[in-house]
């Protein structure tokens, strides 16, 4: 088997990402895909380049980042490869809150960190090292024996975001705000969540200071600022080719959250969530090359899985025929819309089983399946365990 074939097989079996980092483009795409906060500086392309330059073929570099995510870097011949990111332990909401307090990340919510970790597979590092040895064995190449640990939790990294300087004129602040809005729009259009978040933090501080000069920092002023920021992000997404139906839905959901917010902190958290959702959607379109119809269908399924979804209803929403929708979706994604819907439902159910003691029939209902027996059958087909067996293995 070739290296690409081996990596694909491992990924299909373990459900853990394994990425070849041979070209600068592959390395840049890897960084863009997995860096979800600016504090993860090791996932900047130039830092990955430095790490790989020092990676020998006789070692595995085991990286533990500030969010307790794990990555394993190694070389197959001259080609660098990485397994991960993955989690080696389950985190509760309290664990996430405690970690963010330690890191002094005040504008990043524990629920967002929990949700991000929930999207990543959980596995022991020793199991992944065994997978690496199996990869080398299948290619008849000597496996690396040395392990080099890099633990960013042991490094003293300043994570405080500073306000803009207040000793400049009001006109200069307004000009600065427009430049920051343009930067946020461009970063969003590129799907670059790190740059978008950085631009938003600077824009947020700039607008906060302007509001203080004019109105004071009130909840209503924050809502007005949010509407302006949402428009900037929305335009960036439009330039990126995000389908109007998806753009409208993302924007409308955010508008409702802002309208119902009870504090400025809630509004700030929604800004971050909105940026990440838009950038994730834009990166998917850029990296997959999916059509607008398929992007819209994926978004519909991923946000409606708890409802009684039918292909007919989805086709009506997207203004195409059911047969055309099924054919186009399967051509691009490789499976039918209903098969994808089932996968999404089972993934959400697995997360609930591993993180709660909610009765199985209630979990089934929460993912849109009213028949508990059918739910058990579908879950076992997806994970080779019944829901009870899965919970017994992974609940903490």
CATH number for the domain that contains residue 314: 1.10.10.60
Q: Per residue in 143-196, pLDDT tens?
A: 888 898 888 876 544 433 333 344 445 456 567 777 888 899 999 999 998 888
Residue that is last in its domain, among 230, 261, 286: 286
As a whole number, mean pLDDT of residues 55-66 equals 89
Task: Give yes or no: residues 181 and 138 share one domain.
Answer: no
pLDDT of the residue at 320: 93
**Whether residues 304 and 385 fall in one domain:** yes
Q: Provide the number of structural domains found in the chain.
A: 3
- Whether residues 258 and 387 fall in one domain: no
Question: Are 340 and 270 found together in one domain?
Answer: no
Say yes or no to pLDDT of 122 above 70: yes
The partner residues of 64 in beta bridges, in order of sequence, read 70, 151
Same domain, 91 and 198: no
Each residue of 326-342: pLDDT tens digit? Answer: 999 999 999 999 999 99
Which of 236, 259, 286 finishes a domain? 286
Instruction: Tell me if the bond preceding 85 is cis, omega within 30° of 0.
Output: yes
Q: Is the pLDDT of residue 277 over 60?
A: yes
Confidence of residue 104 (pLDDT cuts 50, 70, 90): confident
Domain span at residue 71? Answer: 3-154
Backbone region of residue 191 per phi and psi (left: phi > 0; alpha: psi in -120 to 50; beta: other values): left
What's the pLDDT at 173? 56
> What was the pLDDT predicted at 229?
84
Closest CA to 288 of 324, 322, 334: 334
Q: What is the pLDDT of residue 28?
A: 84
Q: Do 107 and 225 share a structural domain?
A: no
Q: How far apart are CA 269 and CA 234, in angstroms?
A: 17
212 and 314 together in one domain: no
Contacts of 205 (CB under 8 A, 6+ apart): 161, 162, 163, 164
Tell whether 132 and 217 lie within a shared domain.
no
Task: Tell me which of 97-106, 216-225, 247-256 is least confident.
Answer: 216-225
Query: Do 87 and 225 share a domain, yes or no?
Result: no
346-377 tens-digit pLDDT: 999 999 999 999 999 999 999 999 999 999 99
| 31 and 126 fall within a common domain | yes
Please give the backbone phi and psi of residue 210, each rounded to the nearest 5 degrees, phi first.
-65, -45
User: What pLDDT, on the 0 to 100 scale, is given for residue 167?
Assistant: 45
- Give the C-alpha separation, 41 to 265, whole Å: 25
- Tell which of 128, 154, 180 closes a domain: 154
Shared-domain flag, residues 364 and 385 = yes
Q: Are residues 51 and 146 in the same domain?
A: yes
**Taking all residues of the chain, what is their mean pLDDT, rounded to a whole number?**
84
What pTM was computed for the model? 0.53
Whether the predicted pLDDT of 209 surpasses 80: no
């Amino acid at each position: 088997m070739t290296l690409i074939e081996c990596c694909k097989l491992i990924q299909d079996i373990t459900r853990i990402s394994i990425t070849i980092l041979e070209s600068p483009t592959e390395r840049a795409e890897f960084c863009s895909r997995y860096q979800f906060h600016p504090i993860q500086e090791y996932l900047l392309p130039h830092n990955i380049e430095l790490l790989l330059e020092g990676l020998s073929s006789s070692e595995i570099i085991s990286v533990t980042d500030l969010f307790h995510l794990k990555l394993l870097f190694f070389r197959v011949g001259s080609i660098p490869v990485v397994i991960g990111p993955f989690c080696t332990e389950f985190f509760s909401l309290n664990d996430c809150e405690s970690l963010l307090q330690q890191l002094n990340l005040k504008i990043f919510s524990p629920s967002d960190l929990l949700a991000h970790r929930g999207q990543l597979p959980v596995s022991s590092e020793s199991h992944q090292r065994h997978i690496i040895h199996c990869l080398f064995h299948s290619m008849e190449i000597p496996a690396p024996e040395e392990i080099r640990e890099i633990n960013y939790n042991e490094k003293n990294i300043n994570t405080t975001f500073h306000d803009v300087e207040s000793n400049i004129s009001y006109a200069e602040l307004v000009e600065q705000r427009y430049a920051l809005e343009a930067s946020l729009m461009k970063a969003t259009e590129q799907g670059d969540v790190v740059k978008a978040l950085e631009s938003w933090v600077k824009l947020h501080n700039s607008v906060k200071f302007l509001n203080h000069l004019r109105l004071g920092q009130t909840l209503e002023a924050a809502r007005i600022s949010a509407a302006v920021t949402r428009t900037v992000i929305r335009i960036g997404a439009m330039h990126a080719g995000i389908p109007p139906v998806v753009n409208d839905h993302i924007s409308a959901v955010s508008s409702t959250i802002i309208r119902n917010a009870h504090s400025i902190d809630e509004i700030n958290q929604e800004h971050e969530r909105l940026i990440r959702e838009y950038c994730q959607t834009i990166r998917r379109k850029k990296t997959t090359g999916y059509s607008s119809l398929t992007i819209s269908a994926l978004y519909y399924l991923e946000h409606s899985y708890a409802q009684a979804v039918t292909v007919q209803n989805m086709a009506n929403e997207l203004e195409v025929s059911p047969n055309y929708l099924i054919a186009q979706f399967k051509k691009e994604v490789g499976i039918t819309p209903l098969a994808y819907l089932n996968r999404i439902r089972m993934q959400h159910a697995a997360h609930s089983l591993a993180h709660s003691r909610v009765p199985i029939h209630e979990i089934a209902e929460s993912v849109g399946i009213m028949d508990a027996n059918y739910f058990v059958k579908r879950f076992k087909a997806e994970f080779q365990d019944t829901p009870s067996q899965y919970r017994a293995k992974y609940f903490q």
